[in-house]
Every structure is written in C-alpha cells, then in structure tokens.
C-alpha cells in the first residue's frame, strides 16, 4: 500500500554499515551510534509478508520506547533518543545470539507443542493437566536462536546454549535475571491496563564497555501476546478462545489460508481491505497497551521525514 515504509537506503553522516532484519533496519554510525528504523514490514512464521501495514513501524517504535522508559530503573537499555516516530537511536551493542522467550501461559507455540503430546519445551517441563491458555505454575523461559531474515528461529535449551558456548554461564545468568524482572514489570503494567501479559521475548546485547543491556523491542504486539483480563477465568472454564491483543490474529488468518511458513507453501495474497483492518488492529493494540490515543504521523513522504529528523538530531547531538 502507499504511505508505508518497506525498505530504506539512507546514507547518514559517519555511516559504517547497515543491517536489515525482518522488521527493523539498523544503521551503524561512527562513535558506536546506532540508528534503528522500524519499517512497516509484517513478519509471521518468520516470513516477511509482501505488503507493509500502515503505521505499524510507528506503533512498534513508540510502544518499545515507552516500555523501555518504564523499565530502565530495573534493566539498563540501549536507547538514547527517538527523534522520529519510526526511529530509535542508541549505543552500539554486540547482540547475544539468543532471544529470551518467557511464557506465563500455555498459548501460541507452547500450546501447539503441548497438543502434539510434547511435555518439554526447550528442556523445560510443561505440566500434563493443562488446556490451552492455562496459566503456568510459574513463568518459564524457552529461549530461541536468533534467525537471519527469511530464516526460522529455533527452540534451544539453556543447557544447549551453555554447552555450545553461545552465551557464557555468567552472562546467561544475567539474561535470565533480567528476563524475569522485565516480565514481572510488564505483567504489572499490563494489569494496570486491564490486560494479561501472556508471553513475550527480550533481546539483549553487550556494549563496548561490557555492560549487558536490553535492545530491540519490548512488550509490543509483535514480540508479545496479551489477553484481556476481564472474562479470562470464565472463558477458560468454558474452554473458549481468549480475547487477544497480539498479532496472533494475523497468524490465524494465515493458517486459515493454508500458510505456516513451511516449505512449499505460498504466502496468501492480502487484499488492501484486509491490510487496512490489520492496521486498525495495530492501532487498537497500541491504545490498549499504552492507555493513550494513537496520533498518526505524517506519511506523505516517510523517507524524507525520517532523514530530516535523524540529521537534525545528529547535528544537535
């Protein structure tokens, strides 16, 4: 659709390299500075969809910014400034090659595995007597290896991470501690909005001076799953689907159209009308998660707007 940002090709002062992920594009500048741009690309089942979703990048960037501000007292993060609705700027980090996925409820991937009869996920035991969307006795961490664009993330156990020296034992203990702290804070924030934080993922990196910090997004609808708290218990008793706030509705639409990112499957065509409904759902997610009205940024020429705002920030820095 028009007025979306799918790909960027900036050349900022002091630019050294560019990394393009599934949704975000990261420009590395001199003096260990990163410019991270949240595009409107939509990724599901680790596959990037052909069309962008209006305002999605702005929504993800602004939620992540607000959540990093709300958690910086318990976990340090990489962020310095957000000079544009789609842009975050901060310190360069060496990312850990694992995503710290934490689950408070049997939902999504964990529920699908449980239905297949599996009772261990990433080496962690899942109770037998559970139905989909039940709460775990306590949150479980189920890490995943980070995938390059177009590749699939893969489940991995803590033991395997340490055996393969993907992360040192000392560093992993910090990641684990930070993950639990962030999830607890995210759960509190969600509860204040009448929501349940079901599961989420965190990514961490190490700065040039060796500090472990939170990077990328946090508590967004792309990285997290939320339920509405009101009526949760009643729906569970009746074994009814929960009311969700996440991009699970996109995954379910893709599944219904016979796509789960498996070999040989073709991405179904998303009509402009459907894409508009996805955009509206993301705005709904933003407003429910933040408790604030979403203000649409100017999108007549997103690239020019981003470039102008980033250059202005760099000049004044």
Per-residue CA distances from 41 to 6, 46, 242, 259 (Å): 6, 12, 27, 18
Task: Check pLDDT > 90 for residue 66.
Answer: yes
Task: Check pLDDT > 70 for residue 147.
Answer: no
Task: Check pLDDT > 60 for residue 17.
Answer: yes
At 203, list the tokens: 């990514």
Phi, psi of 182 (to 5 degrees): -65, -40
Q: Do domains 15-92+275-316 and 95-249 have the same CATH topology?
A: no
- Angstrom distance (rounded) from CA 251 to CA 206: 32
Task: Check pLDDT > 50 for residue 150.
Answer: no
Dihedral over Cα of 252, 253, 257, 263: its sign: negative
Q: Is-contact 25 15, C-beta < 8 A?
A: no
Average pLDDT over residues 85-110: 96
The set of residues, in sequence order, having a beta carbon less than 8 Å from that of 277 and lying 6+ positions away, is none
CATH architecture of 95-249: 2-Layer Sandwich (3.30)
Supply the pLDDT for residue 148.
56
End-to-end CA distance of the chain: 35
Supply the pLDDT for residue 146.
75
CATH of 15-92+275-316, one of 3.30.200.20, 3.30.230.80, 3.90.320.10, 3.40.50.800: 3.30.200.20
Q: Tell me which of 135 and 151 has the higher pLDDT.
A: 135
Average pLDDT over residues 112-116: 95
pTM of the model: 0.88
Average pLDDT over residues 240-249: 84
Q: Tell me which of 261 and 113 has the higher pLDDT.
A: 113
- Angstrom distance (rounded) from CA 139 to CA 201: 12
Residue-averaged pLDDT of the chain: 93
Supply the pLDDT for residue 311.
97
Average pLDDT over residues 125-145: 96
Radius of gyration of the chain (CA): 19
How does pLDDT run across 267-305, given as a tens digit for each residue?
A: 898 999 999 999 998 998 899 999 999 999 999 999 999
Average pLDDT over residues 136-162: 85
H helix and E strand count, the chain? 8, 18
Task: Check pLDDT > 60 for residue 152.
Answer: no
Where are the domains positioned within the chain? 15-92+275-316, 95-249
Q: What letter does residue 77 receive in the DSSP assignment?
A: B
Dihedral over Cα of 146, 153, 133, 241: its sign: positive
Q: Is-contact 229 195, C-beta < 8 A?
A: yes
Task: Check pLDDT > 80 for residue 102.
Answer: yes
Task: Check pLDDT > 70 for residue 196.
Answer: yes
Per-residue CA distances from 217 to 30, 36, 198, 202, 221 (Å): 23, 11, 16, 7, 10
Strand partners, 205: 95, 213
Confidence of residue 12 (pLDDT cuts 50, 70, 90): very high
- Angstrom distance (rounded) from CA 204 to CA 214: 5
| Pairing of the two strands 15-20 and 93-95 | unpaired
Q: Is-contact 153 101, C-beta < 8 A?
A: no
């Amino acid at each position: 659709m028009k007025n979306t940002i799918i790909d960027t090709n900036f050349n900022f002062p002091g630019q050294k390299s560019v990394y393009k992920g599934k949704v975000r594009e990261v420009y590395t500048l001199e003096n260990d500075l990163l410019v991270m741009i949240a595009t409107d690309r939509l990724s599901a089942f680790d596959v990037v969809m052909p069309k962008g979703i209006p305002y999605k990048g702005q929504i993800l960037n602004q939620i992540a910014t607000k959540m990093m501000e709300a958690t910086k007292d318990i976990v340090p993060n990489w962020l310095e400034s957000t000079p544009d609705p789609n842009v975050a700027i901060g310190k360069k980090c060496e990312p850990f090659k694992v995503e710290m996925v934490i689950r408070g409820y049997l939902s999504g991937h964990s529920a699908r595995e449980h239905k297949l009869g599996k009772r261990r996920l990433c080496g962690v035991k899942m109770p037998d007597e559970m139905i989909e969307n039940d709460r775990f006795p306590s949150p479980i961490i189920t890490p995943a290896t980070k995938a390059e664009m177009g590749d699939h993330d893969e489940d991995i156990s803590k033991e395997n991470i340490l055996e393969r020296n993907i992360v040192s034992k000392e560093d992993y203990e910090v990641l684990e501690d930070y993950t639990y702290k962030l999830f607890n804070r995210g759960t509190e924030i969600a509860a204040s909005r009448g929501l349940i934080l079901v599961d989420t993922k965190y990514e961490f990196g190490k700065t040039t001076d060796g500090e472990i910090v939170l990077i990328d997004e946090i508590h967004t609808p792309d990285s997290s799953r939320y339920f509405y708290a009101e009526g949760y218990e009643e729906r569970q008793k009746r074994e009814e689907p929960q009311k969700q706030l996440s991009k699970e509705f996109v995954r379910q639409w893709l599944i219904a159209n016979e796509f789960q990112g498996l070999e040989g499957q073709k991405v179904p065509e998303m009509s402009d009308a459907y894409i508009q409904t996805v955009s509206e759902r993301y705005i709904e997610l933003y407003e429910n998660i933040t408790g604030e009205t979403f203000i649409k940024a100017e999108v007549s020429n997103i690239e020019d707007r981003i470039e102008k705002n980033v250059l202005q920030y760099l000049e004044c820095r």
